[in-house]
């Protein structure tokens, strides 16, 4: 298992994390003394993609892009029919 010192871990953290996620855990040491082991969490602990989790549970009105346009214009520009 690879051992890196704290300075190297700080400067190469993204690369080291990518390696750990790919199945290559590593140890961070200080003055040659191992301090911590870094390894990827099991698959079930990683967040799933949440895109689309409300599909078919809400309805977006056809005029969604223009809803409240007059009120917004009044608030920001002092214009509109209010």
68 domain residue, yes or no: no
Q: Let me know if residue 61 belongs to a domain.
A: no
Number of domains in the chain: 1
**64 lies in a domain?**
no
**Spatial contact of 26 and 20, defined as CB atoms under 8 Å apart:** yes
- Does 78 fall in a domain? no
pLDDT in tens, 7-49: 999 999 999 999 999 999 999 999 999 999 999 988 775 666 7
Tokens of 31: 């003055």
Asked if 59 and 49 count as a contact pair (C-beta separation under 8 A), the reply is: no
Strand partners, 27: 3, 37
Predicted pLDDT at 45: 59
Boundaries of domain holding 32: 2-41
- Tell which wins on pLDDT, 48 or 51: 51
Assigned domain for 36 exists = yes
- Say which residues have a Cβ less than 8 Å from residue 9's Cβ, sequence separation at least 6: 16, 28
Q: Are 16 and 39 in contact (CB under 8 A)?
A: no
pLDDT recorded at residue 39: 95
> For position 30, which CATH number holds?
3.40.1620.10
């Amino acid at each position: 298992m690879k051992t890196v010192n704290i300075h190297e871990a700080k400067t190469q953290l993204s690369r080291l994390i990518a390696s750990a996620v790919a199945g290559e855990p590593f140890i961070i040491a200080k003055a040659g003394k191992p301090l911590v082991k870094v390894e990827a969490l099991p698959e079930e602990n990683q967040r799933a993609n949440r895109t689309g989790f409300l599909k078919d549970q809400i309805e977006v009105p056809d005029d969604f892009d223009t809803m409240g346009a007059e009120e917004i214009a009044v608030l920001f520009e002092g214009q509109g029919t209010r």
